[in-house]
């Protein structure tokens, strides 16, 4: 589960909230939690991606509070311990691309670049004032004595001399945008705030020291890497290799490479020797398009060009997340009617490592509110626990209704027949269960379709699914 969403209240209670829900999550089969960035950000309201100090986990009085938006360091460590006592793993969101809320301004030479093509410069090099000085007085050198200055960054987005915003590339010897990043907008090294120069030896040394400290301090089981397409892939390979040497291959690694360009993602994975999973962004966009096009979308193509189709063992499948939810820069919210269809696809199929979104499960409050879908998601998660095992037969012949059968294994004898339907009419798919199941009764675990399906003498069942709906039939 992605155990947070963008609009959680800034009451510093989320670690406690999560702790109270561990037993109910474990009971429905949630065994791993991706938690939000646990580091001190720009303020106690920061969702976590405006990183100020990687060594402050809610321990020091910095940026207006001791706790982060989610709680204190001690509460974080207690949460992780509680997960481990339940055989649940914790993956920490990790932001290495940029730093924010600097402690002081510095003057240095920079040049303005075209935001639509960062390889093109505008005007001449000149002195600007940028927020690039980090001394972390509140931490007072605990855990690390490293201080950041403009030499450790490649770009900023504001000149305090002219009071103008823009993308300014910082100039200096051997300093330029990384060449091992996405080529969107000419070069997508710069994303936001003060862009970290990951080629700088002092930066690398401190980050390598930090990750060893962080994992040993918290005992997290893995990392989720934010904004990968903006991070130098040569640095990332070194960093991943460092993690593997320190923590072993069981230490989990997953990255967010937010792009519809599958070729670019595979190039990144290849550079990392395929030592990382990626979120299947293309699958998410397929869900988004299908939810908006309704019956005009050909469900037979729902898996086309996806990571889960091309590299299933590297794909983390998801329906929505904190970036895609309403009001965010990457808003691409999957329509409510399609959510059960999308979750059936990621939870009941063999391929992929599915991730359930907190905002879908528990709902979202505020301006962009969304009701909790916990009731039917619980039924689906329990169906996954019982009957998402063994060989898989696909029935992808109808543009409006597709289905598949999971045949179970020696430890899990329950079979499942899953269907999704985007048409305005109910549909029936005839699917093979097995001649050893003749006369067996199947019912819809989601309780969307009423009645029973009885397996006929040839081992087939005529499985129903309602209009614009999903069904998971179990014996």
Sheet containing 315-318: order of strands: 32-35, 89-94, 222-225, 252-255, 277-279, 315-318, 353-355
Q: What does the alpha-carbon distance between residue 144 and residue 133 come to, in Å, rounded to a whole number?
A: 16
Q: What one-character-per-residue DSSP string does 135-163 give?
A: --TTTTTSS----B-GGGEEEEEEETTTT
> CA dist 317 to 2, 256, 298, Å?
11, 12, 20
CB 393 within 8 A of CB 459: no
Q: What does the alpha-carbon distance between residue 40 and residue 157 come to, in Å, rounded to a whole number?
A: 21
Strand 89-94 and strand 194-196: pairing?
A: unpaired
Beta strands, E only, 314-369? 315-318, 353-355
User: Which residue in the list 93, 157, 232, 256 is annotated as catalytic?
Assistant: 256
134-145 per-residue burial string, b: 16 or more CB within 10 A, e: under 16 = bebebbeeebee
> CA dist 284 to 207, 267, 305, Å?
32, 20, 12
Residues 6+ apart with CB under 8 A from 140: none
Known catalytic residue: 256? yes
User: Which residue in the list 226, 320, 360, 444 is annotated as catalytic?
Assistant: 226
Active site residues: 226, 256
């Amino acid at each position: 589960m992605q155990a947070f969403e963008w609009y959680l209240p800034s009451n510093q209670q989320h670690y406690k909230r999560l702790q109270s829900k561990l037993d109910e999550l474990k009971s429905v089969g949630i065994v791993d939690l991706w938690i939000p960035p646990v580091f001190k950000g720009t303020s106690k309201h920061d969702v976590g991606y405006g990183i100020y100090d990687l060594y402050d986990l809610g321990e020091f009085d910095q940026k207006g509070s001791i706790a982060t938006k989610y709680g204190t360091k001690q509460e974080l460590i207690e949460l992780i311990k509680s997960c481990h006592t339940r055989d649940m793993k914790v993956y920490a969101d990790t932001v290495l691309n940029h730093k924010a809320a600097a402690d002081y301004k510095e003057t240095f030479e920079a040049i303005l670049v075209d935001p639509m093509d960062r390889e093109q410069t505008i005007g001449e090099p000149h002195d600007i004032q940028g927020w690039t000085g980090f001394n972390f007085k509140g931490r007072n050198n605990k855990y690390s004595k490293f201080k950041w200055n403009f030499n450790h960054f490649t770009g900023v987005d504001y000149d305090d001399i002219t009071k103008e915003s823009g993308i300014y590339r910082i100039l200096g010897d051997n300093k330029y945008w990384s060449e091992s990043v996405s080529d969107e907008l000419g070069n997508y090294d710069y994303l936001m705030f003060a862009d970290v120069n990951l080629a700088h030896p002092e930066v690398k040394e401190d980050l390598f020291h930090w990750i060893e400290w962080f994992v040993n301090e918290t005992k997290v089981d893995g990392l989720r890497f934010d904004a990968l397409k903006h991070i130098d892939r040569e640095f990332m390979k070194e960093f991943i290799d460092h993690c593997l040497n320190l923590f072993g291959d069981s230490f989990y690694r997953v990255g967010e490479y937010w792009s519809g360009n599958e070729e670019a993602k595979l190039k990144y994975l290849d550079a990392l020797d395929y030592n990382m999973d990626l979120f299947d962004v293309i699958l998410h966009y397929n869900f988004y398009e299908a939810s908006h096009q309704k019956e005009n979308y050909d469900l037979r193509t729902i898996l086309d060009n996806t990571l889960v189709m091309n590299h299933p063992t590297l794909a983390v499948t998801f329906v929505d997340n904190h970036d895609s939810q309403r009001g965010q820069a990457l808003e691409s919210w999957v329509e409510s009617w399609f959510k059960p269809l999308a979750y059936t696809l990621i939870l009941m199929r063999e391929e992929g490592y599915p991730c359930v979104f907190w905002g879908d499960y528990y709902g979202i409050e505020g301006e962009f509110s969304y009701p909790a879908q916990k009731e039917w998601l619980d039924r689906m998660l329990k169906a996954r626990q019982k009957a998402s095992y063994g060989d898989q037969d696909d029935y992808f012949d109808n543009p409006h209704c597709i289905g598949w059968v999971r045949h179970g294994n020696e430890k899990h004898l329950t079979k499942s027949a899953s269907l999704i339907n985007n048409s305005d009419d109910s549909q029936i798919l005839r699917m093979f269960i097995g001649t050893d199941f003749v006369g067996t009764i199947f019912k819809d675990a989601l309780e969307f379709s009423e009645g029973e399906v009885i397996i006929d003498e040839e081992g087939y069942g005529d499985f129903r699914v309602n209009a614009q709906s999903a069904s998971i039939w179990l014996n």
